[in-house]
Amino acid sequence: MINRNKLRGLMAEKGMSQRQVAKEIGIHEETLYRKMRLGSFDSEEMQKLVDLLQIEDPAAIFFAKKVT
């Protein structure tokens, strides 16, 4: 499961809206919302998010054991 709160927190730290993030990784805003809700990012999208948001510990976000 994805830790949505951490992912949203990183977006906020970088000053980026979900709309901006979706555009930067090449998906529609509604698709980003759905993928965050369902935790269904593919490996390419995860890598784009890691690069864009400079995620230091991707496993803590994309492979969270307990979702907050």
Give the per-residue pLDDT at 46: 96
Please write the tens of the pLDDT for every residue from 16-49: 999 999 999 999 999 999 999 998 899 999 999 9
Which CATH topology does 4-55 take? 434 Repressor (Amino-terminal Domain) (1.10.260)
Q: What is 2-18 written as a DSSP string? A: --HHHHHHHHHHTT--H
Q: Using a pLDDT cut of 70, give the percent of the chain over it.
A: 96
Contact 68, 3 (CB under 8 A): yes
Domain segments of the chain as ranges? 4-55
